Structures are given as structure tokens and as C-alpha cells.
């Protein structure tokens, strides 16, 4: 059987291959899926890849599969382990963190300021695949990033380094991470070039390229290029790539990926003009958060503890929860286990969205109460997408996602509204289509339509045309001035009725004529 492209998802325990045909036609086909245990820890990734291909052949009743190209996503061997080092946590360190997460990285350690001995030991213990150094706006503070680079060089690691800090330090970085260092250096634009200016996209792309360059050096992955001739990107990064494609087709979107070990939220959306005006910190257009404590299998007990066992028994009175928790093995086998996992999934969804989304809060000062917004604004989201095992296979997946908007009881959370439509990745192929979009974008878009059960608009969806930021601000100031003038006139009229008049900026009693 001839196949255009195989996309392998090399997980920590399971390797899945998805086969696609007719990618350049008007109706590309998702041919099928095979899987096998991942063999990276056995020393050769090719064993698991071939067994997954053989499994697909058996399912389809064919002797063999011949493919033109193979692409891959990988979270094997711990995925893309990173450490991130910046100057100020809420500024450069946060910007670097957003870039790393957006690329599909798993951040094991973040520091702000100068590295201490304990920080250096932690970096050695983590054994990261990539180290990201930032710090200082362009033409601002220089010393911290240079000091941190020298300390990291002194560790004698061979880990690649990405520098995304003050542009003035780039030559210094080249001298520190020279050929003798044994560490490949990638230099990219500053992730925080000016105050309140996030510039994470260049770093995100370089992080994925660096991952692809060095994944072949990971134990057990040395021969991956014998079979995979196309892009290799981190699996979470592939889901984000697919979410970006969806944004091009549908407008503002958020994707929820509930898995056995983690729950990831990927949003590609712009904030409303009203929220942008009171936002106290910038947010990236494309944002990913990963919740390592919200997996519905590995972290099952943690979610149960969050809900509360007593409350869970009240909500599911007819289930023997102790027995179910003892017997449950990753994939629910019967109706009782499905109901139990649906409740865990609901908790994972609501908690992860609350952590991902921003909120409105009040600040009290000398001039009274001010309203500010912080975090990611999801109020403009048009579509909520469900992927991952739980949200593509559980019977109650649609109802779970509909409860996101309903859970915003106070109205102070910047959640998607009830107007947002729910879509499900029915074929469970978003990660594969994310990497496939790098080589066959048109085919990936058509396959997305089939998996989501929707026809995309012929032209990319456009948000309502916005005025330039400066014009919106001028209009806002003008509206404030008119409102203040109206209030002043009302106040003067009210006081005049009670015998007071404004003279030289002060209210004085009206003198009565004799």
C-alpha cells in the first residue's frame, strides 16, 4: 500500500503512526493509525516505529506499507526539557518562559537574577536538552546575562544554549560559548526588547529548530533519521502549530488537551479593546500553559483530592469509587469508569482554563478604586477545541467543554463566553496535523475540517476591523473628557439649585440681593 506521509508521535510509553494519502488532492484521506510500545529506552527508536507500522498493516489487512515521507513529534525521554534564566521574573524571565512553552518545551527550572551555586547544581541535576538565557531590555542592563552565561559555561555541559536577551550582549555570548565550550549557541531577537513588549515568536521558532537539530543525540534516538526524513518537533509544540493553523482559518481559538499525565491549554487570540486598555502586563497572542498536576490517570488521586472525596461521593452516589480508583488503568473500560473519568476531566478542564485565563481585579489607592486586568483574555474566543484522549473519546466531552463559560459565576474571569462554539478533534490527529502543516499545509487544513466536522470559510476569518491603537486611545480619552464635562455641568447645575456657584475654581455661596 502506498502512503504519502506517515506522521509518528513518539511518546514516552507508546509510539503512534498516522497514515495520510492524497495530501495534494481536493480530498486528502486519513488512512489509519497503528501503535506499539516506544523503544527509545531499549536503545533504538526504530524498533517501535516499525512495530507501529506493522500494526497499521495488520489492521488494514495488507502486507506492507510504502511511504514517501515520515514526519514526527516526540515527547520521549522526557520531551524537550529546558531551563530558563532571566533578569526580572515578571519581565524577561516570564517572556522567556512564554517562548519556551509556546515551542512545546517542558520547563524544569526558572531563575531570575544572578545564578547561585544552588541554581547551578539544579541545572546539572535537570540535565536539560536546551538552556534559554535572557535578561535586560535592548541597550539596558547587561551584566546579569553575561554573568549567568559564564556560570553556565563553567558547568562543562554540552547542552545547546539559546540567547534571547539584550542585543548588546550578542558578541559577548559568542565569546563565551565558543567552539571550545562544546555548547552550540543560537542567538535570537530579545524576547523582551522594551518594557511591556513581548517578542516571543523568534525565540519559539529557534527553540523548535534547536530541538530538531539535537533530538538525534538523545539516547535511543540516534537512528531516528534512518526513517524520519521530515520535521521533528515536540508533541505539545505540534498541537500549538495546529492551533495556529486553526486561528488562520477560524479566528480566535483555544485548544484543550487533557491527557493521562498533564492538561495543556493552547490559545491563539487577541484581547478585546476594553481589556487591552486596562491590562497591566502584556500577554503573547499565542500562549500555552501545561498543568503537570491535572492528568486524569497519572495524577488521578491529585484531582480527586482537589474535588474532595466527600463531594465526589455526593455527585456520584451509585459508584464504588474506592474500587474504581483501584482498578482504573489509563483507559476507562465500562460505563462506571467513564462517568468517573468524565468528572475528573471536568475538574481538569475548569482548573486548567482558570490558570490559563486572566481576570479582572480591583486596586485601591489614594484616588479610589481602579479596575485592572491581568493575564490572558479569552473573552474573544470563537471556538473551543477538544483534543487528547479524554476530550475525543468520552461520551460527555461536549457538555464538559460547555461548562467553561457557565463556570464564570462572578464574571470577573476572562473566560470564553457562551457564544463560543465547541469542536472536537474526532480523529485525534491534531498533533500530527500540526507537524504535517509544515510540509503539506493545504492538506492539513482539509483534514482538520474532516476531523472537526466543520467547513472553514473560503477566506480566512477576520476579526472585526480594529482602529489603530493610537486612534482607539484618542477616542477613549475624548470620551472620558466629554463624560467629565457632562458630570461637571450636572454638578454645577445641582449646586446652583442649592445656592452655590463656581468662582475661580472654588464653589462659593450665591450672594442674596437685598
Q: For residue 485, is pLDDT > 90?
A: no
User: What CATH number does the domain containing 243 carry?
Assistant: 3.30.420
Quick one: average pLDDT of 295-305? 89
Q: For residue 76, is pLDDT > 60?
A: yes
Residues 380, 241, single domain; the answer is yes
Domain end among 161, 185, 217: 217
Could you give the CA distance from residue 144 to residue 25 in angstroms, rounded to a whole number?
Answer: 54
Could you give the CA distance from residue 218 to residue 43 in angstroms, rounded to a whole number?
Answer: 10
Domain end among 158, 185, 217: 217
Residues 72, 44, single domain; the answer is yes
Q: For residue 462, is pLDDT > 80?
A: no
Instruction: Output the pLDDT for position 405.
Output: 94
Domain end among 186, 217, 248: 217
Residues 448, 480, single domain; the answer is no
Highest average pLDDT, of 123-127, 279-283, 366-370, 470-474, comes from 123-127
Could you give the CA distance from residue 288 to residue 294 in angstroms, rounded to a whole number?
Answer: 15
Q: CB within 8 A of 305, min separation 6: which ones?
A: none
Determine which helix (DSSP H) or strand (DSSP E) holds 346, and give its type and residue range. Answer: helix 335-356
Average pLDDT along the chain: 89
Closest CA to 94 of 71, 118, 110: 110
Q: For residue 460, is pLDDT > 60?
A: no
Q: For residue 465, is pLDDT > 70?
A: no
Quick one: average pLDDT of 261-276? 91
Could you give the CA distance from residue 141 to residue 406 in angstroms, rounded to a whole number?
Answer: 46
Number of domains in the chain: 4
In a domain, 464, yes or no: no
pLDDT tens-digit map of 343-364: 999 999 999 999 999 999 988 8
Q: Strands 500-503 and 506-509, how do they pair?
A: antiparallel
Residues 269, 407, single domain; the answer is yes
Instruction: Output the pLDDT for position 505.
Output: 63
Instruction: Output the pLDDT for position 299.
Output: 86
Residues 62, 84, single domain; the answer is no
Q: CB within 8 A of 465, min separation 6: which ones?
A: none
In a domain, 229, yes or no: no
Residues 319, 251, single domain; the answer is yes
Kindly report the pTM of this predicted structure. 0.82
Q: For residue 78, is pLDDT > 70?
A: no
- What single string gives the DSSP state of each residue in 102-167? HTT-EEEEEEESSPPHHHHHHHHHH--SEEEE--S-TTS--HHHHHHHHHHHHTT----EEE-S-G
Instruction: Output the pLDDT for position 514.
Output: 53
Could you give the CA distance from residue 389 to residue 425 in angstroms, rounded to a whole number?
Answer: 10
In a domain, 459, yes or no: no
Could you give the CA distance from residue 76 to residue 74 in angstroms, rounded to a whole number?
Answer: 6
Q: Where are the beta strands (DSSP E) in 282-358?
A: 286-291
Residues 98, 200, single domain; the answer is yes
Residues 211, 301, single domain; the answer is no
Q: CB within 8 A of 47, min separation 6: which ones?
A: 39
pLDDT tens-digit map of 135-188: 999 999 999 999 999 999 999 999 999 999 999 999 999 999 999 999 999 999
Closest CA to 439 of 2, 34, 33, 6: 6
In a domain, 231, yes or no: no
Contact 391, 257 (CB under 8 A): yes
- As a whole number of Å, the CA-based R_g of the chain is 27
In a domain, 269, yes or no: yes
Quick one: average pLDDT of 460-471? 54
Q: For residue 469, is pLDDT > 60?
A: no
Contact 188, 202 (CB under 8 A): yes
Closest CA to 89 of 125, 122, 134, 23: 134
Instruction: Output the pLDDT for position 506.
Output: 67
Contact 155, 124 (CB under 8 A): yes
Residues 97, 150, single domain; the answer is yes
Containing structural domain, residue 473: 469-509
Instruction: Output the pLDDT for position 320.
Output: 93
- What length is written for the chain? 514
Q: For residue 236, is pLDDT > 70?
A: yes
Q: Is the backbone of residue 156 left (phi > 0), alpha (psi -120 to 50) or beta?
A: left
In a domain, 463, yes or no: no
User: By CB neighbour count within 10 A (0-12 exposed, 13-18 middle, 19+ buried), where does 235 fall?
Assistant: buried
Contact 339, 326 (CB under 8 A): no
Could you give the CA distance from residue 81 to residue 129 in angstroms, rounded to a whole number?
Answer: 5
Q: Where are the alpha helices (DSSP H) in 251-329?
A: 273-278, 300-307, 309-315, 321-327
User: What CATH number does the domain containing 129 carry?
Assistant: 3.40.50.360
Q: Is the backbone of residue 182 left (phi > 0), alpha (psi -120 to 50) or beta?
A: left
In a domain, 227, yes or no: no
Instruction: Output the pLDDT for position 409.
Output: 87
Residues 86, 47, single domain; the answer is no
Q: For residue 242, is pLDDT > 90?
A: yes
Residues 211, 244, single domain; the answer is no
Q: CB within 8 A of 386, min separation 6: which ones?
A: 255, 256, 258, 392, 397, 400, 401, 422, 423, 424, 425
Task: Give the number of other CB atoms < 10 A from CB of residue 26.
Answer: 8
In a domain, 58, yes or no: yes
User: What CATH number does the domain containing 55 carry?
Assistant: 3.30.420.40
pLDDT tens-digit map of 27-38: 999 999 999 988
Residues 109, 196, single domain; the answer is yes
Amino acid at each position: 500500500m502506498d502512503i504519502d506521509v506517515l506522521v509518528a508521535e513518539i511518546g514516552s510509553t507508546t509510539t503512534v503512526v498516522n497514515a495520510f494519502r492524497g495530501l495534494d488532492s481536493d480530498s486528502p484521506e486519513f488512512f489509519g493509525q497503528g501503535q506499539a510500545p516506544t523503544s527509545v529506552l531499549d536503545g533504538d527508536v526504530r524498533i517501535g516505529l516499525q512495530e507501529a507500522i506493522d500494526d497499521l498493516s495488520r489492521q488494514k489487512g495488507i502486507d506492507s506499507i510504502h511511504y514517501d515521507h515520515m514526519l514526527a513529534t516526540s515527547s520521549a525521554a522526557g520531551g524537550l526539557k529546558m531551563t530558563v534564566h532571566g533578569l526580572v521574573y515578571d519581565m524577561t524571565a516570564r517572556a522567556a518562559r512564554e517562548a519556551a512553552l509556546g515551542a512545546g518545551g517542558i520547563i524544569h527550572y526558572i531563575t531570575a537574577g544572578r545564578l547561585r551555586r544552588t541554581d547551578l547544581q539544579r541545572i546539572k541535576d535537570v540535565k536539560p536538552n536546551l538552556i534559554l538565557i535572557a535578561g535586560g531590555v535592548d541597550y539596558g542592563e547587561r551584566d546579569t546575562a553575561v554573568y549567568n552565561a559564564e556560570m553556565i559555561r563553567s558547568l562543562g555541559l554540552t547542552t545547546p544554549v539559546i540567547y534571547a536577551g539584550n542585543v548588546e550582549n550578542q558578541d559577548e555570548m559568542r565569546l563565551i560559548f565558543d567552539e571550545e565550550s562544546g555548547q552550540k549557541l543560537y542567538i535570537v531577537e530579545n524576547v523582551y526588547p522594551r518594557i511591556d513588549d513581548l517578542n516571543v515568536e523568534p525565540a519559539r521558532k529557534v527553540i523548535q529548530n534547536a530541538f530538531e537539530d539535537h533530538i538525534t543525540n538523545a539516547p535511543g534516538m540516534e537512528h531516528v533519521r534512518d526513517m524520519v526524513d521530515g520535521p521533528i518537533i515536540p508533541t505539545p509544540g505540534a498541537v500549538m502549530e495546529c492551533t495556529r493553523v486553526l486561528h488562520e482559518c477560524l479566528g480566535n481559538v483555544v485548544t484543550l488537551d487533557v491527557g493521562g499525565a498533564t492538561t495543556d491549554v493552547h490559545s491563539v487570540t487577541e484581547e478585546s479593546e476594553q481589556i487591552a486598555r486596562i491590562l497591566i502586563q502584556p500577554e503573547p497572542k499565542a500562549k500555552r500553559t501545561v498543568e503537570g498536576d491535572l492528568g486524569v490517570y497519572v495524577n488521578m488521586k491529585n484531582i480527586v483530592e482537589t474535588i474532595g472525596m466527600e463531594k465526589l461521593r455526593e455527585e456520584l452516589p451509585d459508584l464504588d469509587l474506592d474500587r474504581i480508583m483501584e482498578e482504573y488503568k489509563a483507559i476507562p473500560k465500562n460505563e462506571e469508569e467513564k462517568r468517573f473519568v468524565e468528572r475528573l476531566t471536568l475538574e481538569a478542564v475548569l482548573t486548567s482554563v482558570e490558570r490559563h485565563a486572566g481576570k479582572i481585579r480591583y486596586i485601591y489607592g489614594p484616588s479610589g478604586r481602579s479596575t485592572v486586568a491581568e493575564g490572558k483574555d479569552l473573552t474573544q474566543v470563537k471556538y473551543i477545541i477538544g483534543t487528547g484522549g479524554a476530550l475525543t473519546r468520552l461520551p460527555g466531552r461536549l457538555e464538559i467543554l460547555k461548562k467553561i463559560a457557565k463556570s464564570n459565576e462572578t464574571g470577573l474571569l476572562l473566560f470564553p463566553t457562551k457564544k463560543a462554539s465547541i469542536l472536537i478533534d474526532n480523529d485525534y490527529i491534531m498533533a500530527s496535523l500540526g507537524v504535517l502543516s509544515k510540509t503539506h499545509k493545504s492538506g492539513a487544513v482539509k483534514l482538520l475540517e474532516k476531523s472537526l466536522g466543520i467547513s472553514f470559510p473560503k477566506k480566512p476569518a477576520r476579526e472585526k476591523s480594529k482602529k489603530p491603537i493610537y486612534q482607539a486611545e484618542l477616542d477613549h480619552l475624548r470620551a472620558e473628557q466629554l463624560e467629565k464635562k457632562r458630570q461637571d455641568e450636572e454638578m454645577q447645575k445641582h449646586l446652583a439649585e442649592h445656592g452655590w456657584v463656581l468662582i475661580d475654581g472654588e464653589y462659593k455661596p450665591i450672594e442674596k440681593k437685598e
